[in-house]
Structure 1
């Protein structure tokens, strides 16, 4: 199933954004209700039975409250890429990957890769930036969950925010990023410092940033707290012409195999929790 929308404490934030926890005792063929509300009661009987039967996925796909329990997730691979191409040939790239796997003892291990690179253009004075244009305010947007903000002031620009969350039963492998290191951060800049690219895995968060004379591209993942849920944010601000910019996030969650009985039990429990 794939949905389009991305020693590291951020693990909890990513899993919490994609799934919630469900647990309980096994469910039999019928559930005995000790007391039923009047609209379910046929007569004055004190006890009745609610019969349960399997429901096909094409029916469940239209229902709210269907989710994957966090105990189903055994690992994930996260890939992040922010790239900016200016009309004078200058490019800035910030890229990283994080892999978290669970062994047979339920212990987690993490691997990380980071990469940043800036290549100067053939004409530093033809960056396409417009000093009379501005794109601001998007960095102040705060939401719980996933947010994508694009602000453009100019002509001939291409800007893309892309995020994909993929569930798979296959073991996930950390992609090999050419030129990457196993450090928790990477940073690059051009000679005069007006083009920068960087990525950081730190403080239980992930931050990716590319800055040019024509704007900024950022991605951030922040874990949840007692006050608010976790968040994944992608932001593009372009103030210029003929810029090509993209933020890409891909999160692949590895799910454990579940037998038919466990799937039915989880489905019934989730349905019951949505009855108020």
Structure 2
């Protein structure tokens, strides 16, 4: 998770908690000063007062409730966009991007297309080196690549000053959701690029039911990985930034747009009746 965002979130949470506590204290003081005006049935110990009762509900019940999730039969396709980019202070840059589109036709047949591109710019004569890249000597940012989680992980490790970095992953059900910039290389499952001396590298690959995006620079690396589930663990989406330098600008972006089927009025009524019957069990 982006460290700055995490710190801001913690600060906002503490502030909200403090405000809520302060409001509760004021409300208690106001209630005490007007206790005589409280209706009898709300007074503590009144015979008409009924306590709030809570009953735990299992997953078998929640699974049949409406409005909790989108069933797999509702999804007719999706568009997955991934983009990683790095801007070094000397003007060099690295970009790797890919898109996977899966669509369903009228015969319920699925078709998939993939696009990838990677490019590196290195305006420094002779190629970017550690000395002119903003990399800080004798520092390192490591360890994040060894973290193994199920689900989504976002890790940012920074050793330096003046850096800007972000990990962003979004999932939406908007059929007309905005897409990331258009990719030129169509029907290519992988792409890679590097500068003349190999100090800056960018690569992306679709394969093995997963995706791997990697940017490597003298000041660190940025990666995005989508790993399929197996016998040992569930599937995972991992975004990682490791920056050991100054004045670096890095970003990982992942956008998943789920395409949903348009249901007819008759199908909506049938689904409503079915859900109502299930809820009466």
Instruction: Say whether the 8 Å CA contact 2:92–2:122 is kept in structure 1.
Output: yes
Structure 2 residue corresponding to 1:264, chosen from 256, 267, 272: 272
Where structure 2 has 5 or more consecutive residues not aligned to the other structure, the ranges are 1-53, 56-64
Tell me which structure has the larger Cα radius of gyration.
2
Q: Does 1:163 align with 2:169?
A: yes
Write the distance in 2 (CA, Å) between the matches of 1:100 and 1:201: 14
Could you tell me which residue of structure 2 aligns to residue 120 of structure 1? 122
- Aligned in 2, Cα 1:265/1:70: closer, same or farther, shift over 3 Å? farther
Structure 2 residue corresponding to 1:215, chosen from 200, 220, 227: 220
- Aligned in 2, Cα 1:164/1:268: closer, same or farther, shift over 3 Å? farther
- Aligned in 2, Cα 1:148/1:108: closer, same or farther, shift over 3 Å? same
Structure 1 residue corresponding to 2:138, chosen from 99, 117, 132: 132
Query: What does 1:1-276 correspond to in 2, within 5 Å?
Result: 66-122=68-124, 124=128, 125-169=131-175, 176-177=182-183, 179-258=184-263, 259-261=267-269, 264=272
Write the distance in 1 (CA, Å) between the matches of 2:276 and 2:218: 55
- Over aligned residues, Cα RMSD in angstroms? 2.9
- 1:160-196 per-position Cα deviation (integer Å, ceiling 9, x unaligned): 101110102459989631x424211000000000100
- 1:107-157 per-position Cα deviation (integer Å, ceiling 9, x unaligned): 110111100000013363310001211111101111111111111110000
- After TM superposition, the score normalised by the length of structure 1 is 0.69
* More helix by percentage: 2
Write the distance in 2 (CA, Å) between the matches of 1:270 and 1:200: 44
Write the distance in 2 (CA, Å) between the matches of 1:87 and 1:263: 57
Write the distance in 1 (CA, Å) between the matches of 2:158 and 2:96: 21
Instruction: Say whether the 8 Å CA contact 1:148–1:234 is kept in structure 2.
Output: yes
Could you tell me which residue of structure 1 aligns to residue 32 of structure 2? none
Of 132-141 and 219-228, the range deviating more from structure 2 = 219-228
Q: Which has the higher contact order (CA 8 A, sep 6+)?
A: 1
Where structure 1 has 5 or more consecutive residues not aligned to the other structure, the ranges are 1-38, 41-54, 61-65
Write the distance in 2 (CA, Å) between the matches of 1:79 and 1:145: 18
* More strand by percentage: 1
- Aligned in 2, Cα 1:265/1:82: closer, same or farther, shift over 3 Å? farther
- After TM superposition, the score normalised by the length of structure 2 is 0.68
Write the distance in 2 (CA, Å) between the matches of 1:269 and 1:142: 42
- Aligned in 2, Cα 1:269/1:183: closer, same or farther, shift over 3 Å? farther
Write the distance in 2 (CA, Å) between the matches of 1:77 and 1:95: 13
Instruction: Say whether the 8 Å CA contact 2:164–2:250 is kept in structure 1.
Output: yes
- Aligned in 2, Cα 1:269/1:175: closer, same or farther, shift over 3 Å? farther
Instruction: Say whether the 8 Å CA contact 1:98–1:174 is kept in structure 2.
Output: no
